[in-house]
Structure 1
Amino acid sequence: MQYFNSNTVLYLNGKFEKAADTTADIYGQSLHYGYAVFEGIRAYSTHNGTRIFKVKEHYERLKRSAELVNMPFHWNINDLIKQTYKLLELNNLKNAYIRPLIYCAPNMSLVAGTKTSIMICAWEWGAYLGHEQLKVCISSYERPNPKSTAIEAKVSGNYVNSILATTEAKNKGFDEALLLDMNQNIAEGPGANIFIEKNGRLYTPPPGHILPGITRATIIELCQILDIELIEKHLTVKDIKHADSAFFCGTASEIAGIASVDEYTFPVKWVDSLGATLQRTYKCLVLEKQNYEVII
């Protein structure tokens, strides 16, 4: 996939520059050690114009991620929001995926960086996991121990774990992986949180061993609005292989239905599942068509 062309503009340390004209320092601490934090944000074309979904929450999490790994964050969030809308305008983007990245200056030592930069870019990107229900496998890779890294921070280096898990799954003929935590409980997908349905209730792993996603929080809010019972609890492989249905959720993937886990196929048709109801509701929410009674 081509993410930019000769006309693409990005935001870099207070200025808009042509992406093709920018450079990265090969001695950067972020490049060598994965010491960077980032966000994934989506913009949608709505009847009210281009809207960036939960943009403030994303930039607040970006700031929190930087703080958790001792990276200086010296930008005003409201200004970053303003510049992000300007970035979309300059690139003539209405439906877009937005990637802010905070990275460090050259530093080959293993101490926290003292000088950081920010880059924001955007491109058109469809549903990250596609539109079909997914065949998922339990990964042989585990999510990192929370005592080994800042698990709640969206740190670039943490995603090597995700790359390994997804690559393994695809090499085995699956669409995506599902990772366990150090206690062999269900954690999350390589880039998405998971919910399972059983007997008319939804279940999802609690914070602690997962990235507490903004889309995950939105699903929890929607469950309250739609009077869907939601329980946060530790889930085992046995739990998911006795579930009625399941889905991933995340900014990139939005809501993606899961057809099967390993050899187990979920018995409830996706169209009849709570996940499908939430998928329709979520789409109405991001497009600012918030008439929930019509879609249930």
Structure 2
Amino acid sequence: MRVQNGTIWLDGALADWEEARLPLMSDALLRGLSVFDGLVARRQTDGSLALLGARRHLDRLSRSCQVLGLPLEGGVDGLLEGCRAAAEQEAAGFPDCDVYIRPMVVGAVLTPRARAASVTVAAFRQEPGAPAPVTLQTSAWRRPTDDTLPPALKVVGNYQLTRLARLEAKKAGYDDALVLNAAGRVAESAGAAVVLEHGGRLSSPPPWEGCLDSVTVALLAAIARAEGIEWAREPLLRTTVLGADGLALAGTLADVVPVSRLDHRDYDAPSPLLKHLGTLWNEASRGGRHAGLLETVAV
């Protein structure tokens, strides 16, 4: 039997993975009713761990629960304590690691400690390192509109579209997919937000263009503005992206990942301003300059 790595916190306590068993007929399996988020505990220069933008991530998860009628037992504060506990346990004995954290509210009851929906946090150690450039293919699959399947909800069922887009892109020899919205404008990649450099400014699509309301983009934009760099949230045509000076993906797992090619277009990877942004992010996320803008919570 395959043994799951990582640490799990389940319904208020650290647990064994064997406890996290989904009932076969639950809404979590039958209808994809599980809300999740992802955040990172980054190792600071003083050796401590800090959760980046933790409350922003968990507030986003809470909003998805509210829309779907899924109770968040213990609330955001309880879930935050679960994230801290799981990260601390996973990092124990590994003084140089970062930790990726996946909180989830499951449309099923997994333990007697839950009443209507179980709350889980999984944590996994990560080795720090700079992301390598990636290639993108524009996908034939489109983001649905808010009145069809709201892209703003970070619910498991929403991620079949991006899975299809990524399968298609990888089959064609690309690393990831660029997904457009129903109007043919840029939404996001299959797994992260899109950031564009053009004419000495940065831009990314706003949430109403069919992308997730990215916490990483909000934090990056705060750093950029503190440096006097213009950052606009505006609709982006595919033509605009193909004509840009540089392109990157931004997300919890991604940080700032340079894009070296989109379809037939090659880019400098990274372009000058996006390289500077990546450096600023790495410095701030480790407790350096602009760290106060990242709304960190100590583990």
Task: Please state which band the TM-score falls in when normalised by the shorter chain.
Answer: 0.7 to 0.9
Q: Is the 8 A contact 2:28 2:106 kept in 1?
A: yes
Matched, 1:10 2:15: no
* Corresponding residue of 1:23: 21
Structure 1, 73-82 or 157-166: larger mean CA deviation: 73-82
The residue that corresponds to 1:210 in the other structure is 211
Q: Deviations over 1:201-232 (max 9, x none)?
A: 11211221110110011121112111111222
Decide which moves more: 78-87 or 202-211: 78-87
| Correspondence for 1:286 | 285
SS of the residue corresponding to residue 35 of structure 2 reads strand
Whether the 8 Å CA contact 2:258–2:270 is kept in 1: the answer is: no
Quote the RMSD (CA, aligned, Å): 2.1
The offset of 1:122, in angstroms, is: 0.6
8 Å contact kept, 2:27–2:33:
yes
Q: CA deviation at 1:47?
A: 2.5
Q: Distance in 1 between matches of 2:79 and 2:198?
A: 41
CA gap 1:258/1:3 in 2 versus in 1, 3 angstroms? farther
Alignment of 1:138-149 (within 5 A): 138-149=138-149
Describe the shift of the 1:21–1:103 C-alpha distance in structure 2 as closer, same or farther (beyond 3 A). closer
Shift of 1:264: 0.7
Deviation at 1:281, TM superposition (A): 0.7
Separation in structure 2 between the aligned mates of residue 9 and residue 263 of structure 1, nearest angstrom? 42
Deviation track 1:218-260 (CA, whole Å, cap 9, x = no partner) reads: 1211121111112222111111111110100000111100011
The equivalent residue for 1:261 is 262
> How many angstroms does 1:282 deviate by?
0.7
Q: 1:29 touches 1:105 (CA, 8 Å); kept in 2?
A: yes
| Alignment match, 1:116 | 117
Aligned equivalents of 1:178 and 1:275: distance in 2? 18
Question: With structure 1 as the length reference, what TM-score do the two structures score?
Answer: 0.88
Segment of structure 1 superposing worse, 48-57 or 210-219: 48-57
- Measured in 2, the distance between the counterparts of 1:104 and 1:97 equals 23
Partner residue, 1:95: 98
Are the structure 2 counterparts of residues 83 and 213 from structure 1 closer, same or farther at C-alpha, using a change threshold of 3 Å? same
Once the two structures are TM-superposed, the CA of residue 21 in structure 1 deviates from its matched residue by: 4.4
Amino acid at match of 1:78: D
Matches within 5 A, 1:1-296: 4-5=4-5, 8-48=6-46, 49-92=48-91, 94-105=97-108, 115-125=116-126, 131-208=131-208, 209-266=210-267, 269-290=268-289
Aligned residues: 279
SS in 1 for 2:288: coil
Q: CA deviation at 1:271?
A: 4.8
- By how many angstroms is 1:89 displaced? 2.4
Cα offset for 1:88? 2.1
Report the AA paired with residue 43 of structure 1: A
TM-score (norm 2): 0.87
Q: Relative contact order (C-alpha < 8 Å, sep 6+): which is higher?
A: 2
State the shift of 1:71 in Å: 1.3
Deviation at 1:126, TM superposition (A): 5.5
Provide the rounded CA distance (Å) in 2 between the counterparts of 1:28 and 1:51.
35
Which structure 2 residue ranges, 5 or more long, are not aligned? 110-114, 292-299
Partner of 1:111: none
AA aligned opposite 1:46: Q
Moved more, 145-154 or 19-28: 19-28
SS in 2 for 1:270: coil
1:3, CA displacement in angstroms?
8.1
Q: How far apart, CA to CA, are the structure 2 residues paired with 1:57 and 1:115?
A: 24
CA distance in 1, matches of 2:167, 2:84: 34
Percent identical pairs in the alignment equals 24
Equivalent-residue separation in structure 1 for 2:243 and 2:91 (angstroms): 47
Q: CA deviation at 1:193?
A: 0.7
Distance 1:220-1:17 versus aligned 2 partners, 3 A rule:
same
On the 8 A contact 2:61/2:154 being kept in 1, the answer is yes
Gaps in structure 1 of 5+ consecutive residues: 107-113
Counterparts of 1:46 and 1:127, CA distance in 2? 11
Change (3 A) 1:182 1:73: same
Give a deviation string over 1:43-71, Cα, whole Å, max 9, x none: 11113401111111111111111112221
Cα shift at 1:143: 1.0
Output the CA distance in 2 between the equivalents of 1:18 and 1:119: 12
Cα distance in 2 for partners of 1:187, 1:249 equals 13
